[in-house]
Amino acid sequence: MSKCQYGSDCYRKNEDHIKECHPEKLTGNSEILETKENKKTRGNIKNPKPDLERKSEKRTAKSEDQDENEDDQPQSSKRQKSSAKANSPETSESVSDEFKKFWAYCQKTHKNPDISSLLAKIKNAKLVGPFELLQGTEKSEDECLHCFSTDLPEMQSFLTCDDGRYAIWRDHPEGIEGDNLIVYASNDKHLPKIEVVGDTIEHVVVHLSNKDSDIKKILPNANIPNLRKQMKAVVSKRKKVKFGSCHDVGIWVKIRNNDIGYRPATENPDHLKRDLKMLATTTDDYARDKKLDKVLEIYPLVHMANDESDFGMGLEYGHFLYLANTSILDGFTVPILEIAYKLLNRNQYIEVLNRRMKMRGKKD
């Protein structure tokens, strides 16, 4: 049996990790069973705004099949939803357990030098966002104070360094479906690289550090080869379930009968990225207008996809537009993503989206 550095205080809920390091927790641990069960839970799909929906009999029939009565859900599912709200970005309880546990570990393990001093020696890394709340250096719980212009609503940044930042990624704001991951994003102003690192903050330390000696300073009891193995497994698992090509993390949507749920936003993602980057950076009005027309050719296709319940297309296209990070596209980005989140029953991200759009240009 592999040894976990946290011992009985370990907070991870990954089944493979529990089987490998904490088999004693498998007996009587209803929370683990509930989490696995609740990932199967699906909320109701609401109708989009009138100006974005072309109603059809096919769309209506499929929506009725997908709707479920929340009162019929098991009590375990309702408890999971309630507790998971604390993990969603931009709530008054925005400091979730994964941050609290790591901070408690650092406070216990690193006193002189403290964790901030140790991280600063590695690419000038700094704990931000929820960790600033835990340290008491930031009093406001407004999550927008700690995010970047290209932080998608699914992201909550918590560590910055010279070449980028690390963030929690949640496919669903309440964590009840899809994946909860740790991702790395580069510092590029337009269409940054975003990739999966792992699913724990310990994986961030390994990804951040080039030397095992630096990792040991922060995680003295870590099994580094095992951590790297875990990271590869998380990346591999994500590749099997993700859709889209806007970024390496991809999107997650439910695929129903007859492959309903997703269709690609573009057959040439590299071309779309090139057009978006030129649109965001060119000073030539004619060239910008030409690229804008080309980029918006996809816009009406998203409405058609929504009619046929392929909601993932709008989410992917919205990510493309959002990450382009230009005010020229903001008027198209917001409605596309709003309707995608609504159809996918991720309504909390609509509020996150609108708040972040307002703060663009004020940070970074």
Number of domains in the chain: 2
Q: What's the whole-number average pLDDT of the chain?
A: 81
> Which whole number is the average pLDDT over 30-53?
40
* Coil, helix or strand at residue 185: strand
The answer to whether residues 218 and 316 belong to one domain is no
Domain boundary among 190, 210, 241: 241
Domain boundary among 241, 275, 305: 241
The answer to whether residues 204 and 126 belong to one domain is yes
The answer to whether residues 118 and 233 belong to one domain is yes
Residues 338, 148: Cα–Cα separation, whole Å: 19
The answer to whether residues 105 and 219 belong to one domain is yes
Q: Which of 184, 183, 182, 190 is nearest to 150 (CA)?
A: 190
The answer to whether residues 114 and 167 belong to one domain is yes
| pLDDT for the residue 12 | 64
Digit-coded pLDDT (tens) for 192-231:
999 999 999 999 999 999 899 999 999 999 999 999 999 9
Q: Residue 110 sits in which domain range?
A: 87-241
Domain boundary among 187, 209, 241: 241
Confidence check: pLDDT of 74 > 60:
no
Digit-coded pLDDT (tens) for 266-291:
999 999 999 999 999 999 999 999 99
pTM (2 d.p.): 0.74
54 within some domain: no
| pLDDT for the residue 132 | 85
- Report the amino acid identity of residue 353: L
The answer to whether residues 218 and 267 belong to one domain is no
Q: Which of 309, 252, 251 is nearest to 47 (CA)?
A: 309
Q: For residue 16, give both structure tokens.
A: 């493979």
Burial class (CB in 10 A: 0-12, 13-18, 19+), 42: middle
47 within some domain: no
The answer to whether residues 262 and 231 belong to one domain is no
Digit-coded pLDDT (tens) for 94-136:
467 888 888 888 888 888 788 999 999 999 999 998 888 887 7
The answer to whether residues 283 and 150 belong to one domain is no
